[in-house]
Amino acid sequence: MNTKLSSAGIFVLAATLFTAGSAIAQQTAVRERVALSEAAAPYAAAPAAVLANRRAALVDSVGAGVVLIRSSSLRDLESDYLQASDFRQENNFFYLTGIEVADSWLVVELPHHGDPSATLFMPERNPAREQWTGPRPSLESAAEITGLADVRVVDEFEEAAIAAAARASDAALPVYAPLDHRMTGEPVYEQLTAAGADIRDIRPIMAQLRLVKDDFELETLQRAIDITAAAQRAAMRTMRPGMYEYETEAVIEYNFRAGGAERVGFPSIVGSGPNSVVLHYDRSRRQMEAGDLVVMDIGAEYSYYTADVTRTVPVSGKFTERQRAIYDLVLASQQAGIDVVRPGATVADVNRAARVHMRDHSGDLCGEQTCDTFFIHGVGHWLGMDVHDVGAYSTPFAPGMVLTVEPGIYISAENLGVRIEDDVLVTETGSRLMSAGAPRSADAIEALMGQRIEMR
């Protein structure tokens, strides 16, 4: 039995994850939605002890020298496009401090002899400005949030940084900073360069630190993934021929926000029919038709950690025989890749396993060519604070690393694109599928879509 909805009721029921067909199914969906709402606040800051451990790991990695880490700046409300908000903290700064304050600096001084020191420099509170932007932490509350005893006004930063760099130079020690365009445009960088400081890029060191997630990060990332999996299920339950891609995108992103996500981790991809073979299609303008496949590549960002989960589903709720054959080959190839994820393996091993399986099991599905010919991108990427998170892809897997595994087949001549992407945690003995909450098999997808709500 299908439930008919007026246009005014579409998003209310879709976004609360009601399933049609029975009161029991509806109650289950409501509980699922409520559980997500009650699981955590919309923002979870790392405890000060966790932040201190991260800074200690930075000290161990650098050894000796001075480290300068810059925060993000506010964007200009008058000249910038602010589709999300006017501020998102710089990842490395947030990773080490847990504080959302613009135009701030972290200075870590690591002498050859003696104890390291860390100082946070941030703007003083400005009541007039806060009437527009909301209250920001005081120096005292910032010390409590970060666990840093030394918090000063940002006006003192340049003098303190130059003095620390001079001490490092006297001891033949380097200065580490993120050598991106933002840093190289800073007056302090110009002053350090003019003084002949040995300036090195801190980003590779930070990338290596962020590759292995601590327990707090894994909990936060799992939350983002759970929100995303719930949005995938909601999209499957509400999809029907005649809907526009943007309607499905609206269901997805409503569920992101309803689940506590601050923003999307990247522009949502909802590509149907001919758009299913466009890897980063994000316009969501096409009307979906019976017989189409829809690639939904989406990720909620929760407390600075983003998920990345892709499902490919039939608009009509049932795969055609050919669609299912291609889908099953992609799924089996993905599983072959996931099966080799364990400590000591590499992304190259995962890529090889997925491609070999796809090639060896193609049969005549893709004509005279094997289907891996139509697998036109890498098998996956690191996942964390960025959707394509930092870290060298040659790094052997270690427990606590998280990557995506996402093979695909894209046959443009048939408007037939299939991509399946899951988020995988490397464990002590192998791996764990973090995104198992989103149905993967063709049977499971069809069963869920069979419970859908028809909308008019």
Q: Strand order of the sheet with strand 305-306?
A: 263-264, 300-302, 305-306
Structural domain 4-38+212-455, CATH architecture = Alpha-Beta Complex (3.90)
User: For 313, phi and psi rounded to 5 degrees?
Assistant: -130, 155
pLDDT in tens, 207-245: 999 999 999 999 999 999 999 999 999 999 999 999 999
Q: In whole angstroms, how far apart are CA 70 and each of 154, 157, 167?
A: 11, 11, 20
Say what the pLDDT of residue 83 is: 60
- CATH T-level fold of 48-211: Creatine Amidinohydrolase; Chain A, domain 1 (3.40.350)
**Strands, E assignment, 170-240:** 175-177, 199-201
- Picking from 60, 160, 31, the residue whose alpha carbon sits closest to that of residue 106 is 160
Q: Give the rounded percent of residues in the chain with a pLDDT score beyond 90.
A: 82
Q: How confident is the model at residue 129 (pLDDT cuts 50, 70, 90)?
A: confident
Q: What is the pTM of this model?
A: 0.90
SS3 167: helix
At 63, list the tokens.
Answer: 């050894």
pLDDT in tens, 261-270: 999 999 999 9
User: For 264, phi and psi rounded to 5 degrees?
Assistant: -75, 145
Q: Say whether pLDDT at 28 is over 80.
A: no
Say what the pLDDT of residue 81 is: 62
Say what the pLDDT of residue 245 is: 98
The domain segmentation of the chain, as residue ranges, is: 4-38+212-455, 48-211
